[in-house]
Structure 1
Amino acid sequence: MNPIELVSRNGATRAWIDPHGGGIQGLEVDGCPIVDGYPAGQPAPHAAGAVLFPWPNRVRDGRWRLDGEEQQLTIDEPERNNANHGLVRSRPFDVNHVSPHLARLRISVSGDPGYPFEVDLTIIYRALNDGLHVRTAVENLGTRRAPVALGFHPYLRIGDVPMHDLVLEVPAGQVLDLDERLLPNGSRPAEPRHLSLSGAVLNHCYGGLDVVDGQIHHRLRAPDGRCVELRADETYRWLQVYTCPDVPRAGELTSSSSSVALEPLTSSRP
């Protein structure tokens, strides 16, 4: 499936949306790549740009209980025996509307093993003059309450500035401790809030995020003063930060990293 290309009215922002998985395949502002991409027609490597729904992180052994009855999700992270990143990142979305600046995508989840609900997710991507706006809506199409959570998995960069030269600003009060299966088993205070990525190896989930006027602001800064900001509304109270050893790139995978995954999540757990 070919990506959907969006261009802002002033031509400064160009975004590519992948109908297969519904995520961001690439994003540039003023010719500067700020989201790492991957080749058209290929699966997104390392969950690049993925939509994480109806749960965003890992479920231990793929098991949870619903009204006293154990549910078994499909295990898609066999090396850790987890069900990871939800159900939609490898599925085609319906494209309901496309204009030069806007795309509306939709997908329904129904009858999956371990998730006996029918829920509908709509995502609207809009290219702005200085970035990309993402709006979502979830509808329960069934008759019983359905637990849902949502997240996104973009790899952010500032052009070709190496990741080890970047500084990450996360307004977090806590960070989760993870076990060897990357499952949470406690928390501790998060310090510092300005984190140099030089030599950093991160797969951390941050919480206790500051909300200012209904928004949470995460920033990635380069030594030359350029800054990429990821804004989320107060629903996204968690942020997963991941430094991938082999980051996605438009024509290749490279271990010379220039990007870091910043994943806004509505929940740290399923």
Structure 2
Amino acid sequence: MRRFSRRAALATAAGATTAVALAGPAAARPPGGAPTAVGRLYEIRSGRQRAVIAGVSATLLSWQVDGRELLLTHGPDEVGEGYRGKTILPWPNRIDHGRYTFDGQELQVPINEPERDAALHGLMSFVEWQPVAHRADRVELEYLLPPTYGYPFQLAFRIEFAVDGTGVRSTLTAKNVGRTAAPFGTANHTYLAAGADRIDGIVLELPASTHYLVDDRLIPTGKASVEGTQYDYRRARPIGATEMDTAFTDLTRGPDGDAVVRFARPDGITAELWVDRTHGYLQVYTDDSPSTDRPTRQGITVEPMTCAPNAFVTGDGLITLRPGETHRGSWGYRIAG
């Protein structure tokens, strides 16, 4: 059986990891004002930390510490594969057959993953957010999502990316500005680079006690304990040859309410992904099926998600925003120690 890539919806010639450079801190485009493939670029800095945010899909395009790129990224004139760095809205992961029922309405959103007959990663992966404010260490962007045939709801989004002495942080605010209740979920799809040829040598600590079982179309069929399975990374251990396109939940949290995923790379850098209480789910993908001919397993994404895959159908973690209601959540990357 042919193995389909989760990235097939992104037909692109992009492949190589490319450093993203800007001339200065202001929003930038290439000389002459020509647009980039990822929209406006916004550089933010603080001490050793530097990040570049792309306007299209409010993408975390680059995160550097002491000039060293830590993400699996791509150049601003490439579409990029695998939804790298994108803010995913208004649902993460898949809706089975693109069909769901909400408040008695039977709705159909476009299928953009035809090999799995699924609607993947929402409606905003290729729209450009508009700037609200841009300072040396932070940028704020906004987007108003209008009603569509399959998603007849109206949400207003604002997102802030900020850097400080420890790392980069993202805070998303979603407000229902329509007249009816709206289903909602979000995720981010940033890949941490391997720090070597492959991610196999990364020592991963993932504080999740439950993983999702899926069918051959990656639609959840149930949940199970990670105990005794290849998915148990509650105690740090090398990723090794384990392949994952797997959702997790039941996260262990610290006193501050955050759950922390730790990546100890072979090059000596240890990075942490922290997620607040609004993110009760994580999707781990080990970069096993690139849509180009580049080598596999060059990065790993652990996607902070507010709901489970197929939540628009099952209701698992689904957020319902009433008219005027607001959702706010944060996650970020930092260097450990």
* TM-score in terms of structure 1 length: 0.92
Is this contact kept in 2: 1:158–1:227, CA < 8 A?
Answer: no
Aligned to 1:267: 307
Shift of 1:70: 0.9
Aligned to 2:101: 65
Aligned to 1:156: 192
Is this contact kept in 1: 2:207–2:233, CA < 8 A?
Answer: no
SS of residue matched to 1:5: strand
Shift of 1:141: 0.4
Shift of 1:195: 4.5
Q: Give the direction of change, closer, same or farther, for the CA distance of 1:226–1:67 in structure 2 (3 Å limit).
A: same
Does 2:138 correspond to 1:102?
A: yes
Aligned to 2:262: 219
Is this contact kept in 2: 1:16–1:26, CA < 8 A?
Answer: yes
Cα deviation code 1:40-64 (max 9, x no counterpart): 0322311000111111110000000
RMSD (Å), alpha carbons: 1.8
Q: Flag structure 1 segments of 5+ consecutive residues without an equivalent.
A: none
Aligned to 2:333: none
Does 2:182 correspond to 1:182?
A: no
Q: Distance in 2 between matches of 1:54 and 1:23?
A: 15
Aligned to 1:35: 71
Q: Distance in 1 between matches of 2:194 and 2:149?
A: 40
SS of residue matched to 1:65: strand
Aligned length: 265
Cα deviation code 1:196-253 (max 9, x no counterpart): 22112110001000121211101111246431100110110110000113669xxx97
Bigger shift: 110-119 or 174-183? Answer: 110-119
Taking the TM superposition and a 5 Å limit, the aligned residue runs for 1:1-270 are 1-8=39-46, 10=47, 12-157=48-193, 159-160=195-196, 162-190=198-226, 191-193=232-234, 194-212=236-254, 213-223=256-266, 225-245=268-288, 254-268=294-308, 269-270=311-312
Q: Give the direction of change, closer, same or farther, for the CA distance of 1:178–1:85 in structure 2 (3 Å limit).
A: same
Bigger shift: 216-225 or 56-65? Answer: 216-225
Is this contact kept in 2: 1:62–1:74, CA < 8 A?
Answer: yes
Q: Give the direction of change, closer, same or farther, for the CA distance of 1:46–1:55 in structure 2 (3 Å limit).
A: same
One-letter amino acid of the structure 2 residue matched with residue 39 of structure 1: G
Bigger shift: 206-215 or 28-37? Answer: 28-37
SS of residue matched to 2:79: coil
Is this contact kept in 2: 1:158–1:228, CA < 8 A?
Answer: no
Shift of 1:4: 1.2
One-letter amino acid of the structure 2 residue matched with residue 14 of structure 1: R
Q: Give the direction of change, closer, same or farther, for the CA distance of 1:246–1:183 in structure 2 (3 Å limit).
A: closer
Q: Give the direction of change, closer, same or farther, for the CA distance of 1:97–1:136 in structure 2 (3 Å limit).
A: same
Q: Distance in 2 between matches of 1:186 and 1:80?
A: 18
Is this contact kept in 1: 2:197–2:298, CA < 8 A?
Answer: yes
Q: Which has the larger radius of gyration?
A: 2
Q: Distance in 2 between matches of 1:86 and 1:34?
A: 26
Is this contact kept in 1: 2:72–2:192, CA < 8 A?
Answer: yes
SS of residue matched to 1:241: strand
Q: Distance in 2 between matches of 1:89 and 1:44?
A: 11
Is this contact kept in 1: 2:287–2:296, CA < 8 A?
Answer: no
Is this contact kept in 2: 1:32–1:159, CA < 8 A?
Answer: no
Q: Distance in 2 between matches of 1:85 and 1:253?
A: 23
Is this contact kept in 2: 1:29–1:130, CA < 8 A?
Answer: no
SS of residue matched to 2:200: helix
Q: Give the direction of change, closer, same or farther, for the CA distance of 1:118–1:171 in structure 2 (3 Å limit).
A: same
Q: Give the direction of change, closer, same or farther, for the CA distance of 1:6–1:200 in structure 2 (3 Å limit).
A: same
Is this contact kept in 2: 1:57–1:85, CA < 8 A?
Answer: yes
Q: Following superposition, which runs of at least 4 residues in structure 1 exceed 6 angstroms of deviation?
A: none
